[in-house]
Amino acid sequence: MRTCWLTFRLALVFPLLLNVFCWPQDSNANAPDQTSPSPAQQIDPLLAEGKSLLEKGSLNDAERSVRQFLGQYPMSADAHYLLGLILFKRAKPKDSLGEYTEGAKYHDPSAYDLEIVALDYVLLADYADADKWLTESLTRQPKNWEGWYYLGRTKYNENRFEEAIHAFRECLKLSPENVKAEDNLGLSYAGLGQFDDAMAAYRKAIAWQAQLLTKNPGPYLDMGRLLVDQNRDEEAIQFLVQATQIAPQDSKVHQELGRAYEHQNQLAKAQAELEKAAALTPDDAALHFVLGKVYRRQGMIDKAKAEFDRSAALRGTHAPRDGTR
C-alpha cells in the first residue's frame, strides 16, 4: 500500500515529544504505586467497554468511554495509551501524541505503544521522529515484521534507500512472500538507481500474487512507471493496464497509463486515462496541467485553457495566456 504512505515531504516537529519518554527517576520507588488504578480499577467497565468498542471499530463511543474512565483515574497509563491508540485510528496524530506523552509519565510504553507513536509522526510527515521511535520499538520487539515494514517506508521517505532495503529484507525474513514489502524493496532499489534489481523485485512481487483473487496493484504500477521512465512504453502499458483492472479507482494508475499513451502519441487514449485520473483526484494541479497539454496537442483549445486555469487556481498562480509554462 504505497499509498497509505501516501508522498509526504513536510517535516513537522513537536518539541514536547522529543523528551517524552525520558522518565524521571522516582525517589520513592518502593512506595505503593499511587499513579495507576488498582487491579479492580483496571478492569473498570468503562475501560473494558472502551477496548471492546475499539475492537468493533466504534471509535467515537470508544473515545467517550475511555475519557469517562480518565475522568475518574487521570493517572492511568493504560487508559492514556488506549486513548492515544483510538485517536491515532481517528487520524488525530497530535492529540494521540499528547495522550502517549501523558501516559509515559506514569508507566513505560510497550513496543507496540512506541510503534503507534512512530506512526503518529508518519501521519505528521515527521519522518526523523518516526524513524527514532520505530527503531526503539524494534529494539524491544525485533520479530515484529510490521515494524520493519513501517521502518522501511520511513527510511524510504527519508531518502535513506540502503537502510530501507535492510528494513524490507528483515520484514521479508519474518513475513516471506510479503508482496508490499517486496514491492517497496523494488522502490528502494530504484531510489539508488539499481533498476535491474528494482525490476526483479517487482516481478517477484507480481509472481507471488499470480494465484490470488485479490491482488495488490503496487508492483504493476511501479513496474509500469519505471518502464515509462526508461521509454519502454509498450512494455509499460501491459503492466499499467493490469494495474487499472486491479484498482480502477486509483488515480495514479490512470495517470501513469495516460503518460505512457501520451509518449506513444496515442492522444485519445491518453486523454481518456487522464480524465479518469482528474475525476478521481480533482485537486491535483499537476494532473490538470498535463491533461491541458494533451487537449492542446489535439487542438482542443478551450478545454486546454480550462485545465490550465484550473491548475493555476489550485497552485494559487496565474495561468499563462497561451497555455504554456
Q: What is the mean pLDDT of residues 49-62?
A: 95
Q: Residue 89, CB half-sphere, CA atoms under 13 Å: how many? A: 16
Q: What is the mean pLDDT of residues 61-79?
A: 95
Q: What is the mean pLDDT of the chain?
A: 87
Q: Residue 71, CB half-sphere, CA atoms under 13 Å: how many? A: 7
User: Is the confidence at residue 135, as pLDDT, over 60?
Assistant: yes
Sign of the dihedral through C-alpha 272, 276, 279, 285: negative
- The residue behind cell 480502477 is 248
What is the spatial distance between Cα 116 and Cα 118, in angstroms, rounded to a whole number?
Answer: 5
184 vs 10, higher pLDDT = 184
Asked if 43-109 and 110-201 have one fold, the answer is yes
316 confidence band (pLDDT: 50, 70, 90) = confident
What is the structure's pLDDT at 43?
55
30 vs 133, higher pLDDT = 133
What is the spatial distance between Cα 307 and Cα 311, in angstroms, rounded to a whole number?
Answer: 6
Dihedral angle, C-alpha 68, 59, 137, 33, nearest 10 °: 10
User: Is the confidence at residue 45, as pLDDT, over 90?
Assistant: no
Q: Which fold has domain 110-201?
A: 1.25.40
- The burial class, CB within 10 Å (0-12 / 13-18 / 19+), for 32 is exposed
User: Is the confidence at residue 319, as pLDDT, over 60?
Assistant: no
User: Is the confidence at residue 27, as pLDDT, over 50?
Assistant: no
What is the spatial distance between Cα 278 and Cα 287, in angstroms, rounded to a whole number?
Answer: 6
* 131, 155 Cβ separation under 8 angstroms: yes
Cβ atoms within 10 Å, residue 39: 7
What is the structure's pLDDT at 17?
36
Angle of helix 179-191 versus helix 218-229 axis, rounded to 10: 20
What is the structure's pLDDT at 286?
95
216 Cβ contact list (under 8 Å, min separation 6): 1, 179, 180, 183, 205, 209, 246
Domain extent listing, the chain:
43-109, 110-201
What is the structure's pLDDT at 11?
35
Query: Options 1.10.3720.10, 1.25.40.10, 1.20.120.160, 1.10.10.10; which CATH number does 43-109 get?
Result: 1.25.40.10
User: Is the confidence at residue 125, as pLDDT, over 60?
Assistant: yes
What is the structure's pLDDT at 317?
58
Q: C-alpha angle 274/277/278, rounded to 5°?
A: 85
User: Is the confidence at residue 255, as pLDDT, over 60?
Assistant: yes
* 254, 242 Cβ separation under 8 angstroms: no
